[in-house]
Amino acid sequence: MADERVGVIGLGYVGLPLAVAFAEVGLEVIGVDVDAGKVAMLMVGRSPIRDVPEEALRAALESGRFRATTDYGALAGVEAVLICVPTPYDAMRAPDLSYVRAAAEGLVPHLRRGHLVILQSTTYPGTTEEVVRPILERGGLRAGEDFDLAFSPERIDPGNREWTVRNTPKVVGGITPRSTARAAALLERLGAPVYRVSSPRVAEMSKLLENIFRSVNIALVNELALLCERMGIDIWEVIEAAKTKPFGFMAFYPGPGVGGHCIPVDPYYLSWKAREYDFYTKFIELAAEVNQGMPFHVVEKVEEALDRYERRGLRGARVLVLGVAFKREVDDARNSPAERIMELLLARGAEVAYHDPYVPRFRAGGSRFYREIVEWESVPLEEGWLRWADVVLIVTGHRAVDYPKVVATARLVVDTCNATAGIPSGSARIVRLGAPWPDAH
């Protein structure tokens, strides 16, 4: 069966690029999202995601190959449905599959014989077969017999212009060989290689391995950065030296914490599932603990810098945060370490403002660390704001920021991502994460 009509549930950072890509290769795509405001925006050609240019969205709309709706009933006429919804964790860092369950339940009344359903949301091994399958079978159709079911992990890297949904290799595992073959054939339409595995559980675990690999290595270099601070060694110089080895080494970099949808979340998904098997992922959880601790270290660094160079504490201090997105050159602030950092700064009595060229509004608080919900608008990176601040804190090193201007104007800069590397400090004090204090000998 040729799967020429495709439904995509969830039009966020994963689903929208996928939907537009399918439309670009000639498939008819119906996107479903519960956010009526987002659907209305999409239908007039306005993209909420920088990775999907508005020209590409408008071309898909004008071709008649893409439309967005809040109506699950529109999926009855497609051959394949891909579920691309968020999989966050709750306050206790247990998996929150409410979006996945809601998507499957929304599809049930419209599921028909011959449908292919592919879950793409990152999750723990067993979700496709233990959570999604029972929901879809409530209508009486049997997975593997009446409809096909598979898992293929999303591999979206926001802001990456080289590797996109069109050329990044895919992994797919179905509940039957036919399910795997159909899912692979559909994904191959995008043009990238597809690697087939024996089951959804293998595919689900492969995604966790990819991201936990990064979590563990980031934690390693974060811990080394803390050690280098004590030893008076520059971790950034150390990494550049280690990078000269042409084999057996891959560079990872320290920072103020980890963000985005995957790296802060995936270790906890796996550790939660592992306990069902009386297994405790100590190594993985320790890495997550190190990364989760970095925002606290950053705030302590800011406090010590103010004490050393401004002869004052955090209470009443004015802090200008540069960059609140979870990584540079993206507009995605999900789980950004800036959120925890700003909450901790507020809790210690600081005044906080921020500038981010890609994130016009930012929200924090409503947590154990700062009860009140606070919403900011990005302030312009002007001399007045740089002079307003007792300390400028660089959290996300967007290339669009004029760091020479920042250093030339600010009195004190705390740099958590080496954005000021190579810039003469002039009269400013530049305190860098993982490096000696500027007046150290």
Catalytic sites, residue numbers: 262
CB neighbour class for 161 (10 Å; exposed up to 12, middle 13-18, buried from 19): exposed
Say if residues 46 and 16 touch (Cβ distance below 8 Å).
Answer: no
Q: Which two tokens stand for residue 161?
A: 């212009």
Is the Cα dihedral 339, 344, 347, 353 positive or negative? negative
Alpha-carbon gap, residue 397 to 417, rounded angstroms? 6
In one-letter notation, the amino acid at residue 375 is E
Q: Which two tokens stand for residue 332?
A: 């995605």
Alpha-carbon gap, residue 35 to 14, rounded angstroms? 15
